[in-house]
Amino acid sequence: MPRFALFAIAAVFALGCGSVEAASLQPIGNFDQPVYVTSSPTNSERLLVVEREGRIIERGPSGTRQLFDLTDLVSCCDVERGMLSIAPAPDFESSGRIYATYTGTPQAGGAEGDVHLDSFRPNPGGGVPIREPILSVDHEQEANHNGGQLQFGPDGHLYMSLGDGGGTGDPFENGQNTEELLGKILRIDPHPGQTPAYSIPAGNPFSAGPGRDEIWAYGLRNPWRFSFDRGTGDTVIADVGQSAREEIDIAASSAPGGVGGAGANYGWNCREGFIAYTDPATACSTASVFTEPVFDYPHSDPGGGAAFGCSIIGGYVVRDPSLGDLDGRYLYTDYCSEEIRSLVLPRNGGLASGDRSEGLTVAKPTSFGEDSCGRIYVASGEGPVYRFEGPTPAICPTPMLASAQSPTATSRRSAKSKHGRLLLSAKRLRPGGLRFKVKVRLGPCRGRGGLPVQLSRNGKSFASKHLDRHCRARFWLTVAKATPLRAFVHLGGKAGRLGSRQLKLLPPKQP
């Protein structure tokens, strides 16, 4: 989280005009210290706003309501403590489940300030939501550098960022220590209500030891926000610096539906941005291979309109064509400069380019957000949440209705129309297992990468993604009984929606 102790009370923002196609910021509501914005994975009209003290607010077509109140569990607001972020479960529309990370009170278990990752779902009887703890990390000594991003990756696994434990210069030397979870990005599969509450996905780089099984990448100071590019699958991390540089790191997707950066060492506290850190950890004397950032900027103003600040707030690669020439650029800001900027990230090595101001500012920015349609938001710690809007409205699909077709028992189904052919296929990940990899492909592609695709499970909307540049999307799901699936791609305009024939997944036969 950025270096701030208290949020202010009122919002101020200014709109600029970089070009005739410049985006603007449109307020969508006023909240109490908002720190994150997301939406239902399959219904972008159900917007979820996280308030720092521990409330999760839903804003939809029917109005605004409090979804969960976790204030008794959340330790707020000493320095950077509080609610950090959430990730709605892929089946959120049916289960109401969210995963949340926050700094906890002793009531949450452990010491004041420990970082918790929990599942919460509505209580059928009303009242207090059902809490199912997943993971907790000791963090009582310092109140800053908690990290705080939760995000389901393109591979279907849950990713979580953690800061180095706080203090100046990583005094606990956690960043380079792979036996500690602090200063890392983790990758797990949560299993709420079960024992153990999570498992380690195949491919985690330290699962064979030494090092903690949960770790995906390390050497981070305070990765308050990271994101996955919905167009490429690339991971983009904005790591808050110490006293000299703020940095942006990137891990290119290993393959469609894959996540890159396994085992990457981003350098803290041996490095700060592109430069050597002035007081490195003991482990730095033997560390030799670091993943360098693709961009950094200083704390002092270099002049000439270049970036500067004190605490980077990372955003998203824009995949919203309605935002004009912002489409395809990475948005970020800084808590101190309050200026919204964008740049072009590299795909195959090299450095970021084209850094520029967007002529927009937000008072005390705390986080960007992205809904399931790909629209981008930014939150002000002083209350307002804004949506980026372009000269033409964004086209978002309406939530799917249940299909009336009967399921068929096959592993590959397709549907063809004059607008293309949509192929739906599934493969069991291991013999006798319950987990499947489901593939959706649109052909011919004809530059249709980025179109929204939705997957229906048992006739109900289950998950949504955007097609990658090869017009493919992958989903991972577990089935315990016969489960019919159907895929839909929203082509836009008069073409409407192209749907595949239904496909049924079957659990293994009982002996």
Domain positions in the chain are: 13-389, 412-505
Among candidates 251, 133, 233, which has minimal Cα distance to 185? Answer: 251
Per-residue pLDDT at 397: 62
The DSSP secondary structure of 117-132, one letter per residue, reads EEEEE--TTSSSPEEE
The CA-atom distances, in angstroms, between 506 and each of 35, 152, 436, 449 are 41, 25, 10, 30
DSSP-based three-state secondary structure for 217: strand
Task: Give the whole-angstrom CA distance, residue 246 versus residue 147.
Answer: 15
Task: Give the whole-angstrom CA distance, residue 39 versus residue 441.
Answer: 25
Longest CA pairwise span in the chain (Å): 72
Residue 123 corresponds to which tokens in the numbers above? 């209580």
Per-residue pLDDT at 492: 64
The CA-atom distances, in angstroms, between 479 and each of 304, 437, 486 are 57, 11, 15
Residue whose tokens read 């970020």:
332
CATH superfamily for 412-505 is SoxY domain (2.60.40.2470)
Mean pLDDT by 10 residues, the chain (511 residues): 40 39 91 98 94 97 94 97 97 94 97 98 91 98 96 95 96 96 98 96 93 98 97 96 97 89 97 95 90 98 97 97 94 98 94 98 98 96 97 70 31 69 87 84 84 80 81 86 85 70 76 51
13-389 CATH, one of 3.40.367.20, 2.120.10.30, 3.40.50.2300, 3.60.9.10: 2.120.10.30
DSSP category for residue 397:
P
SS3 sequence, 494-507?
HHEEEECCCEEECC
5 Cα distance to chain centroid: 24
Matching fold, domains 13-389 and 412-505: no
In the chain, the N- to C-terminal Cα span, in Å, equals: 52
Per-residue pLDDT at 21: 64
pTM of the full predicted structure? 0.78
Query: For residue 118, with 0-12 CB atoms within 10 Å meaning exposed, 13-18 middle and 19 or more buried, which class applies?
Result: buried
Among candidates 346, 362, 329, 341, which has minimal Cα distance to 297? Answer: 341
Per-residue pLDDT at 496: 67
Per-residue pLDDT at 15: 38
